[in-house]
């Protein structure tokens, strides 16, 4: 049996619940879209929060919170074929139960742990590299194009740092973002680019101009090191920098 879901984490958990209900040893593929043979069975599983929660609660109770962390962050890595790796991971976790932490060197568990680490590293990087710009209406806007789906993970960090501001973090590749206002953060769908330079506040444009002048003034052309620059600031983040080289 093959399963499809809506692409969300809770949707994937719902599909896993259905897989266990049907007998997980007979599972073929779980994915947002599944190619099947002419005679292959494929079932769409709607997202059901209670069933997804039961899977997560069971994993936490039997294996500990870290097992849930690896699962969630591994899912957000958006690595191709992640569902197969995560399905194998959760099967092994439920078999190992409290021995889970002693067996992290197993290939199936180690793979998901590395997926989770990739997500955590990018979340950490963007926590420091994300750049907000002020609109004329006072809203702060920060576009990004992360490899992993880390924008939902950034919400709590910036809610703590900018609790009185109104802001949006926009994942331009996934067409989604987090909108924050009055202490509440919402995951929203965003079509296309939502601003132009004309939308920026006068103060933002003035400070941007000052920063570009400063950046150009302190630069020493003879000491430019492009490889070091790419190491410290990955090139995929450059389009969103005021001083975009």
pLDDT per position as a tens digit, 108-140: 899 999 999 999 999 999 999 899 999 999 999
β-pairing, 42-44 with 2-4? parallel
Give ∠ CA 214-166-176 in degrees, rounded to 5.
90
Stretch (H or E) spanning 107:
helix 107-129
Task: Dig out the tokens for 189 from the structure.
Answer: 């769908």
Cα separation values, 134 from 90, 192, 197, 211, Å = 43, 18, 10, 15
* Residue 235 banded pLDDT, cuts 50, 70, 90: confident
Name the percent of the chain in helix, strand, coil, to the closest 5. 55, 15, 30
Domain boundaries in the chain? 2-122, 130-240
Q: Output the pTM of the full model.
A: 0.87
> To the nearest whole number, what is the mean pLDDT of the chain?
88
Q: Which stretch, 51-65, 211-225, 230-244, has highest mean pLDDT? A: 51-65
Q: How far apart are the first and last CA of the chain?
A: 51
Query: Which tens digits make up the pLDDT trace of 151-188?
Result: 999 999 999 999 999 999 999 999 999 999 999 999 99
Judge contact between 84 and 29, C-beta under 8 A.
Answer: yes
d(CA 101, CA 175): 36
């Amino acid at each position: 049996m093959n399963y499809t879901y809506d692409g969300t984490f809770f949707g994937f958990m719902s599909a896993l619940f259905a897989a266990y209900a049907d007998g997980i040893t007979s599972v073929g593929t779980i994915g947002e879209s599944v190619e099947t043979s002419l005679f292959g069975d494929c079932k769409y599983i709607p997202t059901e929060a209670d069933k997804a929660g039961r899977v997560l609660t069971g994993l936490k109770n039997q294996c500990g919170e870290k097992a849930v962390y690896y699962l969630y962050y591994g899912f957000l890595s958006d690595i191709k074929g992640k569902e197969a790796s995560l399905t194998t991971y959760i099967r092994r976790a439920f078999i190992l139960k409290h021995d889970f932490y002693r067996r992290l060197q197993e290939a199936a568990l180690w793979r998901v742990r590395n997926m989770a680490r990739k997500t955590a590293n990018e979340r950490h990087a963007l926590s420091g590299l994300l750049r907000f710009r002020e609109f004329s209406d006072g809203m702060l806007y920060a576009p990004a194009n992360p490899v992993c789906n880390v924008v939902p993970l950034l919400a709590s960090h910036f809610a703590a740092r900018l609790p009185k501001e109104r802001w949006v973090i926009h994942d331009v590749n996934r067409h989604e973002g987090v909108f924050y206002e009055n202490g509440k953060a919402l995951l929203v769908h965003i079509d296309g680019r939502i601003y132009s330079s004309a939308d920026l506040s006068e103060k933002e444009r003035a400070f941007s101009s000052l920063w570009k002048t400063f950046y150009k003034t302190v630069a020493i052309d003879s000491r430019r090191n492009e490889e070091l620059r790419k190491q410290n600031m990955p090139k995929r983040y450059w389009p969103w920098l005021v001083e975009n080289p």
